């Protein structure tokens, strides 16, 4: 290691929830849950809710502003830094935005000592209740029908998941199964923050029937409770002897910090 010392890599994770609806009463629990207005259809229609949880590499749920240590094994190799679980009952588009800051030495943004890193992502699963639902396609004839207490419809759920950069260009992803995706390319973080948006829309492929006839329009903004899980991977551009992989710059010993801000919103 540089100067016979150690380099420690730390990520701060902060969680923010945004409500993009107008004329709503927002109620938050801590910093992780937003409950929107009560619908006026019937008493049986549930409130619209959505929330996010962050899971560390040891599968432990973490709170806002948590510190996650990144091990030496992430040097020039993908390391699963954290997962997020988005849950709720929104029948529409919900987005998770992840902003990664540069990785500075000892929090000193003026020092110029920055470790570049790359991030990549995967969609692990979408579930309604305890049942995994497919991603990126319409339901098949063998699909499971779901029923709830506020309609007499049959729901055949499938999910739509896409990754975008800050400019709105889609990041290519490949299906690794009927239920999971992984991005094909990485996002490089050096001297400026980088943002990736993960957009979920359960309405794209879901089919809803009443008395075996597909309905033309759906009058509710909520559906059965769902959850979606994604992973974020970090790959540090640093060698085993604490040098930049391209410039061969030797890094000073000490703590290196990056901040990840996770923002959730309903479109």
- Which pLDDT tens digit goes with each residue over 24-81? 222 222 333 333 333 333 458 999 999 999 998 888 888 767 788 888 778 888 999 9
Extract the residue ranges of the chain whose pLDDT is less than 50. Answer: 1-5, 19-42
Smallest CA-to-CA distance from 128 within 230, 200, 218, 227 is with: 227
133/185 Cα distance (integer angstroms): 25
Q: Are 162 and 126 in contact (CB under 8 A)?
A: no
- What pLDDT sits at residue 6? 65
Helices (H), 130-196: none
234/236 Cα distance (integer angstroms): 6
75/78 Cα distance (integer angstroms): 8
167/165 Cα distance (integer angstroms): 5
- What pLDDT sits at residue 245? 87
- What pLDDT sits at residue 21? 27
- What pLDDT sits at residue 256? 86
117/39 Cα distance (integer angstroms): 45
First and final CA of the chain: distance in angstroms?
Answer: 47
- What pLDDT sits at residue 62? 81
């Amino acid at each position: 290691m540089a100067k016979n010392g150690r380099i420690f890599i730390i990520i701060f994770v902060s969680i923010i929830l945004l409500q993009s609806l107008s004329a709503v009463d927002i109620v938050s629990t801590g910093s992780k849950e937003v409950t929107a207005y009560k619908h006026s259809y019937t008493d049986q229609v549930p409130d619209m809710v959505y929330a996010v949880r962050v899971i560390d590499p040891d599968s432990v749920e973490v709170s806002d502003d948590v510190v996650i240590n990144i091990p030496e094994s992430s040097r020039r190799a993908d390391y699963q830094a954290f997962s997020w679980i988005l849950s709720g009952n929104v029948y529409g588009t919900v987005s998770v935005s992840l902003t990664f800051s540069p990785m500075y030495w000892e929090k000193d943004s003026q020092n110029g000592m920055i470790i570049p890193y790359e991030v990549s992502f995967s969609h692990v699963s979408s579930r309604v209740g305890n049942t995994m639902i497919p991603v990126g396609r319409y339901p098949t004839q063998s699909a499971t029908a779901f029923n709830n207490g506020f309609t007499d419809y049959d729901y055949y759920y499938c999910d739509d998941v896409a990754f975008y950069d800050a400019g709105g260009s889609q990041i290519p992803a490949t299906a690794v199964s009927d239920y999971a995706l992984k991005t094909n390319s990485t996002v490089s973080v050096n001297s400026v923050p980088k943002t990736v948006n993960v957009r979920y829309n359960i309405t794209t492929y879901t089919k809803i029937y009443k008395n075996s006839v597909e309905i033309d329009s759906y009058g509710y903004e909520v559906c059965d409770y769902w959850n979606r899980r994604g992973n974020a991977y970090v790959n540090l551009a640093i060698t085993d002897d604490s040098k930049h992989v391209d410039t061969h710059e030797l890094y000073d010993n000490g703590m290196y910090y990056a901040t990840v801000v996770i923002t959730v919103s309903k479109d």
